[in-house]
């Protein structure tokens, strides 16, 4: 962790850089690139999705829909896994989809690119074709703040699934998640800040930001903002049921006995721990 005096020097040199017209890292940094580095681990995510589908259905899924796909990073990972895999990503922001086309899909070979499509579409409308898997990851569904809105989205996801399809969402919670707090994680070339700016216990609404700070001391504040509702697991499961899903299962993370931290292995259970901060997956069966 850098000392305060070092920090002051960084701050000063950033100001000098700005005065003399020198470009800071924050001025040229690409927020999507740092988001993918700091927030996503698409390999681990697809491992869980792929293995869980196989465990529940006894066969491999082929067609995946990534809701709120952003840059389509997860869909690209699905495509890389097997030649028989297809993916469609849905997002409303054309600029983010374009970034994904230029930076992620461009790294696929022609054969792989033919099996993926990113489309500017509302997740509530869905996609014409039914699929084996629908993912709504990184808690994006939390932008639906009322039970009616979220139930409507869940029902539309259910409609988008084949008869043996599965719907995956992630969820987070624990008593730390209700605090206004700025958590930082240091990477080699930048620091990632998860900033829980406001939480209203009366309606569950929450305002969060992602900020980045770079090694020259420059900052990209509010690179991403999330204005959403922090839903609890029982609420999510009740709404999945009300939306017509026949079953939902919570996959809870195991504990590394040496560190006491999460071990990245998720298993189905009806009993979690009162961890200060946890991430879980909910898998809903059509």
Ligand X SMILES: C[S@@+](CC[C@H](N)C(=O)[O-])C[C@H]1O[C@@H](n2cnc3c(N)ncnc32)[C@H](O)[C@@H]1O
Select from 45, 27, 25, 23 the least CA-distant residue to 36.
45
Residue 269, classed as helix, strand or coil, is strand
86 close to 64: Cβ distance less than 8 angstroms: yes
Q: 214 is written with which tokens?
A: 């770079």
User: Site for ligand X (CB under 6 A): which residue of 29, 48, 143, 155?
Assistant: 143
Q: Determine, following the binding rule CB under 6 A, whether residue 142 of this chain makes contact with ligand X.
A: no
57 vs 80, beta carbon nearer ligand X: 80
CA distances from 94 to 27, 100, 262 (A): 22, 10, 36
User: Would you count residue 159 as binding ligand X (CB under 6 A)?
Assistant: no
- Packing angle, helices 42-57 and 73-81, rounded to 10: 60
Q: Does the footprint of ligand X cover residue 68 (CB under 6 A)?
A: yes
Stretch that binds ligand X, among 76-84, 116-124, 211-219, 229-237 (CB under 6 A): 116-124
Nearer to ligand X, 140 or 248 (CB): 140
Nearest approach, Cβ of residue 258 and ligand X (Å) = 30
What is the DSSP secondary-structure string of 194-229?
A: EEEEEEETTTTEEEEEEEEEETTS-EEEEEEEEEEE
| Binds ligand X (CB under 6 A): choice among 26, 63, 79, 90 | 90
Which residue, 91 or 275, has its beta carbon nearer to ligand X?
91
Task: Examine residue 93 and tell whether it contacts ligand X (CB under 6 A).
Answer: yes
Give the span between the Cα atoms of 237 and 233, in whole angstroms: 6
Q: Does position 53 bind ligand X by CB under 6 A? A: no
Comparing CB distances to ligand X, the nearer of 100 and 217 is 100
Candidates 104-112, 136-144, 185-193, 267-275; binding stretch for ligand X (CB under 6 A): 136-144
Contact window for ligand X (CB under 6 A) among 47-55, 104-112, 137-145, 231-239: 137-145
Nearer to ligand X, 90 or 284 (CB): 90
Side by side, the strands of the sheet bearing 86-91 are 116-120, 86-91, 63-67, 131-136, 161-173, 278-285, 247-255, 262-269
What whole-number distance in Å separates Cα of residue 131 and Cα of residue 167? 10
**Which residue's C-beta sits nearest to ligand X?**
70
Q: How far apart are CB 6 and ligand X at their closest, in Å? A: 32
Distance CA 270, CA 31 (A): 38
Minimum separation from the CB atom of position 93 to ligand X (A): 3
Q: Which stretch binds ligand X (CB under 6 A): 102-110, 120-128, 199-207, 208-216?
A: 120-128
> Of 50 and 91, which has the nearer Cβ to ligand X?
91
DSSP string computed for 27-87: HH--HHHHHHHHH--HHHHHHHHHHHHHHHHSS---EEEEET-TT-HHHHHHHHH-TT-EE
Say how many residues touch ligand X, by CB under 6 A.
Answer: 17
Question: Which stretches of the chain bind ligand X, using CB under 6 A?
Answer: 39-40, 68-70, 90-93, 96, 122-124, 137-138, 140, 143
């Amino acid at each position: 962790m850098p000392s305060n005096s070092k920090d002051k020097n960084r701050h000063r040199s950033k100001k000098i850089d700005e005065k003399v017209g020198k470009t800071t890292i924050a001025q040229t940094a690409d927020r999507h690139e740092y988001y993918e580095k700091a927030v996503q681990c698409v390999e681990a995510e697809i491992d869980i999705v792929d293995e869980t589908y196989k465990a529940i259905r006894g066969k491999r899924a082929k067609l995946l829909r990534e809701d709120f796909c952003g840059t389509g990073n997860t869909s690209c990972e699905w495509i890389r896994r097997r030649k028989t895999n297809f993916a469609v990503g849905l997002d409303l922001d054309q600029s983010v989809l374009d970034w994904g086309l230029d930076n992620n899909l461009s790294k696929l070979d022609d054969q792989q690119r033919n099996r993926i499509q990113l489309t500017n579409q509302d997740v509530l409308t869905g996609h014409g074709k039914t699929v084996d898997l629908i993912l709504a990851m990184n808690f994006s569904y939390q932008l639906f703040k009322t039970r009616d809105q979220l139930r409507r989205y869940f029902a539309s996801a259910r409609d988008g699934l084949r008869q043996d399809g599965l719907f995956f969402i992630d969820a987070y919670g624990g008593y730390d998640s209700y605090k206004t707090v700025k958590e930082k994680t240091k990477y080699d070339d930048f620091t990632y800040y998860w900033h829980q700016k406001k939480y209203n216990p009366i309606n569950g609404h929450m305002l969060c930001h992602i900020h980045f700070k770079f090694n020259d001391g420059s900052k990209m504040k509010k690179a991403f903002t999330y204005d959403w509702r922090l839903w609890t697991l029982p609420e999510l499961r009740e709404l999945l049921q009300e939306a017509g899903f026949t079953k939902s299962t919570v996959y809870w993370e195991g504990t590394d006995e040496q560190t006491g931290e999460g071990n990245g292995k998720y298993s189905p259970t009806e009993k979690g721990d009162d961890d200060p901060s946890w991430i879980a997956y909910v898998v809903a069966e059509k």
